[in-house]
Amino acid sequence: MNQNPIKQYYFITLLLFAIACFLGACKEQLPKPIAASTSTTGKTDSIVVKDTLPSFNSPAGIAIDGTGNLYVADYGNNLIRKITPGGLVSTFAGSGSQGATNGAANLATFNEPASVAVDASGNLYVADAGNNRIRKISAAGMVSTLAGSDSTGKVNGPAAGSSFFDPVGVTVDGSGNVYVADAGNNMIRLITSAGTVSTFAGNGNTGTSNGTLTSTSFNNPTGVAADIKGNVFIANYLNNNILKINQAGTVNLLAGTGQTGANNGPDSLATFYYPNSVAVDTADNVYVADGVNNLIRKITPAGIVTTLAGSGLAGAIDSTGTAASFNGPSGLAVDAAGNVYVADTNNNLIRKITAAGVVTTIAGTGSAGAKNGLAVAYRNKKQFKITLKSQFNIFYKPKLN
């Protein structure tokens, strides 16, 4: 007996509705990309997929804020990256294109950012070396030019008319003053919180003389750090030494004979090989990224130089002390607990050294890239040789006559 046509119509309609609901439910269960949460600055970080391993391209600088977020100057990608305490890597600022565009963080452009610093209010300062500018990223996520112009030079005065030559190091003190390692000019420059640029130290000549701020000479200074007491520390790259400028304005040799080497011991006998970056902790220990030696060195307040981590061989081994290895380490940052964070440039990794000297990889796969995602330790148990063709010349640009 045939069914009533009306009943048959309703039956088919209900069946089709049930199938549609089933398919819709399945579609909703498909995994979706998980966006990074909106930061307290009101700026949303780039969308990331948490199960994607993040990558970097010659990370050169690193800084840490009061809540444990790390910021990385991703030199080869023209980006500023962020690593949360939970290990989520995102793009904090930059489109990836080379340029000097200001504005919203995701639309701004950089050119070989070499160093980064962060102040107590959450503002970031970037040594935008390829643009000869110092850039600022506000807590609200807006990028601006703090100082520097289209011209290469050493002009002081109002920030907008000032000029730099290959500024590769930057730090900020507790009063909001920004210090710049102006490598190409052999100077340390100062940008006050009011926006005035001056020469803090250095006469502009290449040399090894210490003394007063105006009489001293540097040789391609690349790293700068300031402690809570007002002392400023300099990685004097081509002179293979570390300098200290005290509160009285006297420039003194902190460590290094000037000869290349990796000798530990008293500061007057210790040797370095193109030290590029420095950091200082609250106990007055100074840490040095000893780039060509592939070591992280430590200078105690008593003036004793030791190797905190690194075997001296190029590699990416996670271990303790001298059993670990690095490949052209550059930027350094230290937290309140005494942990040291390293931008391991030629390995494309971000590393961590505990106060006990235990080295781990906290972000990066080792391959060059710009992927965001959840940081997972990458361990390479084999040592390897440096591949020169894959390296950027970050810390030294030949001077033009």
pLDDT in tens, 226-241: 999 999 999 999 999 9
**Predicted pLDDT at 391:** 61
pLDDT mean over 260-289: 97
Given a cut of 50, is residue 267 above it in pLDDT?
Answer: yes
Side-chain-side CA neighbours of residue 168 (13 Å): 26
Given a cut of 80, is residue 15 above it in pLDDT?
Answer: no
CA dist., res. 155 & res. 34, Å (int): 47
**Which residue, among 255, 277, 287, 232, has the nearest Cα to 394 in the 3D structure?**
277
**Predicted pLDDT at 46:** 54
Query: What confidence tier does 41 reach under pLDDT thresholds 50, 70, 90?
Result: very low
Query: What confidence tier does 208 reach under pLDDT thresholds 50, 70, 90?
Result: confident
- The mean pLDDT value of the chain amounts to 87
**Predicted pLDDT at 35:** 32
Return the higher-pLDDT residue of 43 and 285: 285
Q: Residue 152 to residues 133, 179, 184, 347: CA-CA distances in angstroms?
A: 9, 18, 9, 31
**Predicted pLDDT at 401:** 45
**Predicted pLDDT at 375:** 73
Paired tokens of 210: 């210490």
| 3-class DSSP state of 60 | strand
CA dist., res. 101 & res. 111, Å (int): 10
45-54, 165-174, 201-210: which is most confident = 165-174
Please give the share of the chain, as a percent, with pLDDT higher than 70: 82
Mention every residue, 6+ apart, whose C-beta is less than 8 A from residue 89: 48, 54, 81, 82, 83, 363, 372, 373, 374, 375
Query: What confidence tier does 8 reach under pLDDT thresholds 50, 70, 90?
Result: low
**Predicted pLDDT at 189:** 98
Burial of 198 (C-beta count, 10 Å sphere; 0-12/13-18/19+): exposed
pLDDT tens digit string along 310-348? 999 999 999 999 999 999 999 999 999 999 999 999 999
pLDDT tens digit string along 67-80? 999 999 999 999 99
**Predicted pLDDT at 150:** 85
pLDDT tens digit string along 362-384? 999 999 999 999 876 444 444 33
Burial of 382 (C-beta count, 10 Å sphere; 0-12/13-18/19+): exposed
Given a cut of 80, is residue 276 above it in pLDDT?
Answer: yes
Burial of 135 (C-beta count, 10 Å sphere; 0-12/13-18/19+): buried
Given a cut of 60, is residue 52 above it in pLDDT?
Answer: yes
Mention every residue, 6+ apart, whose C-beta is less than 8 A from residue 32: none
**DSSP E strand stretches across 229-294:** 232-236, 241-245, 250-255, 265-266, 275-280, 286-290
**Predicted pLDDT at 51:** 57
pLDDT tens digit string along 140-174? 999 999 999 988 999 999 999 999 999 999 999 99
Paired tokens of 6: 């009306």
CA dist., res. 218 & res. 184, Å (int): 10
